[in-house]
C-alpha cells in the first residue's frame, strides 16, 4: 500500500513538472529569445549543411540522460557526460553556446541552456524542410554531469525489444520510437557503427541478412572491411539531406542503413506503425509522419524536466 502511495505521489510530481512547461514561457521576461535562437541556427546553417541533424541529435541525447536539462553541455573533465561512449559523435555544443551568449546580452540569467537546445532542434528540423511545431519552454538546467549516467543510452546495435524497453522507461510509446528513429531521415553515420552489421553480425557472422542483397555491395563500398571507421554515409539512402518519410520506406524495403532502423520492421507493433504511413489512403486520411514526429518531439521534450526552483539557469552552458 505504501509503495502504491509513493508511485501516485511521484506521478503527481512528474505531472506538475510537465505542466510548468508552456509555449511562450519567455513571452514577458525575454520575448526575443526564440528569435535569437532561430537567427543563430540559420547563420550557422548557412555555412554548414550538417547543423540540422547535429542539433536534432543533441536534443535527443540530452533528454535521454537525466531528462532535458542541458546536462550534456556541461564540461566536467574526462568524467563529464558529453564524453560518454553513448554520446560518441554528438556535436553542436558551440551553436548552443553562441545562442546563449546572444541571449545573455539581452536577457541575462533568464533563459536556460536546456530550452535553447530544444528550440534549436525545432529550428534545425524546419531548416531541413521538416515540420514546424511549438516548443514548450520553462526548463531549468541540471547541475550534474557524469559519463556513467549515459550508460543506458539507446544504441544502434540493440534489439527492437531493448529499444522499446528503453523508450518505455522514458514514457515514450512504440509510435514515438518509430517516428523519432525517423529523425535519421537527415544526417550521416560513421562506418564505426556499420562494421559489425556488415562483417560480423551476430548470430552467425557475416552480414545482417535483413539487408537487401542489392544494397549490401553499396554499403560495403562505403564502409570496406578494415577501412576508415570515421568515413561517413547518409543514414537515409537517397534522401539524406531532406526531412521526409523516405527513411521509413527504406526500412520497409531492406535499405535501412542502421541496424536499429532495420529492427523496426522485425516487431509486429512497430512494423504496423511503419506501414501505417504508406497505406493507399494515408496521404489523405491516414497518419502523418510529419505531424506524429512533431508530437513526439514535444513529448520527448518533457522527459524528467527541471522546473520552478529546481536546477538553475546557467550563464554559460558548458560550466556549472
Known binding-site residue numbers for heme b: 184
Sign of the four-CA dihedral 102, 108, 113, 117: negative
Helix axes 174-181, 289-300, angle to 10 degrees: 110
Mark out the alpha helices in 254-301 (DSSP H runs).
259-262, 268-276, 289-300
Binding residues: 62, 65, 67, 69, 71, 81, 154, 184-185, 236, 244
Nearest to 149 by CA among 304, 315, 308: 304
Identify which of 244, 295, 243, 298 has the alpha carbon closest to the alpha carbon of residue 119.
298
Which three cell numbers mark 40?
A: 543563430
83 catalytic per annotation: no
Does residue 35 come out as left (phi exceeding 0), alpha (psi in the -120 to 50 range) or beta?
alpha
The dihedrals phi and psi of 302, each to the nearest 5 degrees, come to -100, -5
Angstrom CA distances, 224 to 53, 148, 209, 236, 268, stand at: 25, 32, 18, 19, 33
Spell 190-217 as b/e; 16+ CB within 10 A means b.
bbebbbebbbebeeeeebbeebeeebee
CA distance 90 to 295: 23
Strand partners, 233: 189
Other C-beta atoms lying within 10 Å of the C-beta of residue 229: 12
Q: How far apart are CA 46 and CA 193, in angstroms?
A: 28
In whole angstroms, what is the distance from residue 93 CA to residue 73 CA?
6
Considering the candidates 12, 18, 59, 61, report the single residue annotated as catalytic: 61
Residues with catalytic function: 61
Amino acid at each position: 500500500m505504501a509503495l502504491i502511495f509513493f508511485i501516485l505521489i511521484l506521478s503527481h510530481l512528474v505531472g506538475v513538472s510537465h505542466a510548468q512547461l508552456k509555449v511562450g514561457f519567455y513571452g514577458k521576461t525575454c520575448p526575443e529569445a526564440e528569435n535569437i535562437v532561430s537567427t543563430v541556427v540559420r547563420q550557422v546553417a548557412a555555412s554548414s549543411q550538417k547543423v540540422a541533424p547535429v542539433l536534432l541529435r543533441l536534443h535527443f541525447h540530452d533528454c535521454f540522460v537525466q531528462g532535458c536539462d542541458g546536462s550534456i553541455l556541461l564540461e566536467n573533465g574526462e568524467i563529464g557526460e558529453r564524453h560518454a561512449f553513448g554520446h560518441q559523435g554528438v556535436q553542436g555544443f558551440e551553436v548552443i553556446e553562441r545562442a546563449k551568449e546572444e541571449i545573455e546580452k539581452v536577457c541575462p540569467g533568464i533563459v536556460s541552456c536546456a530550452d535553447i537546445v530544444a528550440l534549436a532542434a525545432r529550428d534545425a528540423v524546419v531548416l531541413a524542410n521538416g515540420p514546424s511545431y511549438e516548443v514548450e519552454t520553462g526548463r531549468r538546467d541540471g547541475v550534474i554531469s557524469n559519463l556513467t549516467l549515459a550508460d543506458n543510452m539507446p544504441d544502434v546495435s540493440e534489439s527492437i525489444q531493448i529499444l522499446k524497453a528503453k523508450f518505455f522507461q522514458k514514457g515514450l510509446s512504440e509510435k514515438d520510437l518509430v517516428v523519432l528513429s525517423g529523425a535519421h531521415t537527415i544526417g550521416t553515420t560513421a562506418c564505426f557503427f556499420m562494421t559489425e552489421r556488415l562483417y560480423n553480425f551476430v548470430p552467425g557472422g557475416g552480414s545482417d541478412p535483413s539487408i537487401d542483397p542489392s544494397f549490401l555491395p553499396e554499403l560495403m563500398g562505403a564502409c570496406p572491411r578494415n577501412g576508415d571507421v570515421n568515413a561517413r554515409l547518409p543514414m537515409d539512402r537517397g534522401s539524406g539531406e531532406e526531412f521526409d518519410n523516405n527513411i521509413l520506406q527504406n526500412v520497409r524495403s531492406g535499405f535501412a542503413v542502421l541496424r536499429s532502423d532495420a529492427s523496426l520492421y522485425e516487431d509486429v507493433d512497430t512494423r504496423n506503425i511503419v506501414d501505417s504511413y504508406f497505406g493507399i489512403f494515408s496521404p489523405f486520411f491516414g497518419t502523418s509522419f510529419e505531424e506524429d514526429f512533431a508530437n513526439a518531439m514535444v513529448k520527448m521534450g518533457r522527459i524528467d524536466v527541471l522546473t520552478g526552483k529546481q536546477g538553475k539557469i546557467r550563464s554559460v552552458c558548458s560550466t556549472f
